[in-house]
């Protein structure tokens, strides 16, 4: 039973990371129907910016909370800008061409960014400072580390903030209306290009936060770490009904749980397979996902 609870905590931690990445996929897909393959690279880039600034601040003797929040904000801001630039360069000129072209352009961008990261940051793992991640609460044999607590609470905060943004502000309203009908919302005076840029920026910012969390949690980042979590997060977005924000969160938690429990109870070696099997299964039996009854009505 203790093992079960321990796995539950681990699963929630991992799930919250996937949920954050999945949100970016789902928002972008909701608004321009594009699988943004480069999204995983924003996640990796966020991890790198995080490790760079965190070690810099730490070497300057800054307290832990400054290190964490400072690098988090910087990474999110940086990745948001990067995403906007990528959108301008690689996706915006293709707004009216075929789906295949945009998808291939996204794929090319993903390879480009990944290799750019590799060439400039090296092929080896980059270690996160470990001082920040020690300690935790113990309940019997179940351990909840400060790190996990940090990840879970930060995710919760970001999710609440995002929900507020999307459902309570003017901009959220504009995003939702653009997702539903781009031409009509342009007619009533919404600048759809700006909204699309913002969507990319927000999604990439969340992915960057997830990148830092993963870096802290596993202790290191790697230039190609964006690919597999990216696909899993996409699986999560699909599972929840793509285009649906609540669905993406739930999907992320489900994928995280499944992965951890499958690794714990079935086989650690095949843990990645389960996410893909779920993806294929969901697409086959229920292409609109758990939350999405009809894709067209529930985008963002």
Scanning residues 28 to 67, which ones bind another protein (CB under 8 A)?
33-35, 45, 48-49, 51-52, 55-56
Single out the segment in contact with another protein by CB under 8 A; choices: 65-73, 83-91, 154-162, 208-216.
Answer: 83-91
* Cα 3 to Cα 11: distance, rounded to the nearest angstrom: 12
Instruction: Return the residue of 132, 171, 186, 283 that touches another protein, per CB under 8 A.
Output: 283
Exactly one of 62, 64, 112, 145 binds another protein (CB under 8 A); that residue is: 112
Does 99 bind another protein (CB under 8 A)? Our answer is yes
> Which lies closer to another protein via its Cβ, residue 152 or residue 278?
278
Length of the chain: 300
| 94 forms part of the interface with another protein (CB under 8 A) | yes
* Helical (H) or strand (E) element with 139: strand 136-139
φ, ψ at 126 (rounded to 5°): -115, 125
CB 15 within 8 A of CB 214: no
* Least spacing, CB of residue 128 vs another protein, in Å: 10
Q: Pairing state of beta strands 220-221 and 126-127?
A: antiparallel
Which of 82, 236, 245, 263: binder of another protein (CB under 8 A)? Answer: 82
Q: Taking the CA of residue 298 as centre, how many other CA atoms within 13 Å lie in the half-sphere pointing to its CB?
A: 18
- Report, in Å, the least distance between residue 192 CB and another protein: 16
Position among 14, 22, 68, 113 found at the interface with another protein (CB under 8 A): 113
Per CB under 8 A, 161 contacts another protein = no
CA distance 156 to 163: 11
What is the smallest separation between the CB atom of 206 and another protein, expressed in angstroms? 18
Output the smallest distance, CB 182 to another protein, in A.
12
Dihedral over alpha carbons 53, 58, 59, 61 (to 10 degrees): 130
By CB under 8 A, residue 107 contacts another protein: yes
CB of 222 to another protein, least distance (A): 14
193 is an interface residue for another protein by CB under 8 A: no
Instruction: Write down the H helix ranges in the chain.
Output: 2-32, 39-59, 64-86, 99-121, 146-168, 170-180, 182-187, 192-218, 227-239, 245-261, 271-285
User: Does the footprint of another protein cover residue 265 (CB under 8 A)?
Assistant: no
Residues in touch with another protein (CB under 8 A): 33-35, 45, 48-49, 51-52, 55-56, 78, 81-82, 85-86, 88-90, 93-94, 96-105, 107-117, 119-121, 126, 227-228, 231, 234-235, 238, 269-270, 272-273, 276-277, 279-280, 283-284, 287
């Amino acid at each position: 039973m203790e093992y079960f609870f321990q796995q539950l905590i681990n699963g929630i931690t991992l799930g919250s990371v996937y949920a954050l990445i999945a949100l970016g996929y789902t928002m972008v897909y909701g608004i321009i129907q594009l699988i943004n393959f480069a999204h995983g690279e924003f996640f990796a880039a966020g991890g790198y910016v995080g490790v760079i600034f965190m070690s810099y601040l730490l070497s300057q003797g800054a307290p832990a909370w400054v290190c964490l929040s400072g690098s988090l904000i910087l990474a999110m801001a940086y990745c948001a800008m990067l995403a906007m630039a990528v959108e301008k360069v690689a996706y915006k000129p293709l707004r009216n061409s075929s789906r295949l072209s945009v998808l291939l352009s996204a794929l090319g961008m993903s390879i480009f960014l990944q290799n750019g990261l590799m060439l400039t940051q090296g092929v080896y793992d980059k270690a996160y400072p470990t001082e920040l991640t020690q300690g935790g609460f113990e309940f019997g044999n179940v351990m909840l580390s400060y790190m996990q607590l940090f990840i879970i609470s930060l995710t919760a905060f970001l999710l609440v903030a995002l929900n507020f943004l999307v459902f309570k502000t003017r901009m959220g309203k504009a995003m939702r209306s653009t997702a539903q009908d781009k031409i009509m919302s342009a007619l009533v005076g919404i600048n759809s290009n700006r909204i699309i840029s913002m969507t990319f920026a927000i999604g990439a910012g969340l992915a960057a936060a997830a990148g830092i969390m993963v870096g802290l949690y596993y202790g290191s980042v790697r230039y190609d770490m964006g690919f597999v979590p990216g696909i899993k997060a996409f699986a999560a977005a699909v599972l929840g009904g793509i285009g649906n924000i609540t669905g993406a969160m739930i999907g992320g938690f489900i994928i995280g749980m499944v992965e951890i429990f499958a690794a714990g109870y079935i086989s650690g070696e095949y843990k990645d397979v389960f996410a893909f099997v779920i993806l294929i299964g969901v697409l086959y039996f229920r292409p609109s996902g758990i939350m999405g009854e009809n894709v067209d009505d529930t985008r963002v």
